[in-house]
Amino acid sequence: MIRDTFPNVKTTTNAYGLTETSSVATAISGQDAIDKPTSVGPPVPTVSLKIVDERGRDLGVGETGEVCITGPILMAGYWNKPDATADAIDADGWLHTGDVGHLDEEGFLFITDRKKDMIIRGGENIYCVEIEQRLVNHDEIADAAIYGVAHPELGEEVKATVQLEEGSTLTEADVRQWVADGLAAFKVPTYVDLTFDKLPRNASGKLLKNVLRGEGEVSFAETM
């Protein structure tokens, strides 16, 4: 928690938006940020949110799916890319963000993961951020990345690349046990790579999982 490091901080502010929204789409501060520290807040005025499933159907309170946004803050479209624009913004004017999350009963948004980073293991949806947060809560783990690797029967398996703190003696088994102690069994990484090197991140701190997977070049969007 921020307050553990900066005890005089009274509150924090968090916000969520995309390049495609031209500005902030949600924001949280004051007592709301204290009461709901993992939320990015409710939509700002003139903006509406909804959560949809894989078929585009609206989901209810607490149900996890893709975050969609509409309102005057949306871009007109990608420059000279009408097909990409049509893929991102549907016929009803909703931007499909590619982010996964849920809304609570008061309309506050909680971001869970990126849709493309979600692992589907034997029909179970696994959100990488949840496991990454569990891992970095360990005193001997400096950073962690979770991503899927192909499996012939399950579709995907969970893999972890873990940056250890200097002097750590953690083993792969220790890492798996740490996850197992806090999360469901199917979320425990099957494969664990341990390193003392920093994990690859872009200038804004985003993990470059393509680099960890060894899959081709990193796209321009991933460096932003």
* CATH code, 46: 2.30.38.10
- Per the prediction, the chain carries an average pLDDT of 90
pLDDT at site 178: 98
- Picking from 6-10, 20-24, 29-33, 106-110, which range would have the lowest pLDDT averaged per residue? 6-10
3-state secondary structure of 112: strand
- Asked if residue 165 and residue 73 are part of one domain, the reply reads no
If you average pLDDT over residues 97-117, what whole number do you get? Answer: 92
Same domain, 149 and 76: no
Q: Are residues 101 and 176 in the same domain?
A: no
Count of beta carbons in the 10 Å neighbourhood of residue 175? 23
The pLDDT value given to residue 224:
42
Band of pLDDT at residue 48, cut at 50, 70 and 90 = very high
Write down which residue in 115, 133, 157 finishes a domain: 115
Domain that holds residue 41: 2-115
Tell me the average pLDDT across 129-147: 95
Lowest mean pLDDT among 14-18, 93-97, 149-153: 149-153
With cut-offs at 50, 70 and 90, classify the pLDDT of residue 215. low
**E strands of 41-117, at which residues?**
48-52, 65-70, 95-103, 109-114
Pick the closest to residue 36 from 108, 87, 88, 92 (CA basis).
108
**Pick from 48-57, 127-136, 166-175, 210-219: least confident:** 210-219
pLDDT at 1: 62
The count of structural domains within the chain is 2
Question: Taking CA 185 as the corner, what is the angle to CA 190 and CA 128, rounded to the nearest 5 degrees?
Answer: 65
Task: Output the pLDDT for position 89.
Answer: 96
Q: What is the pLDDT of residue 149?
A: 87
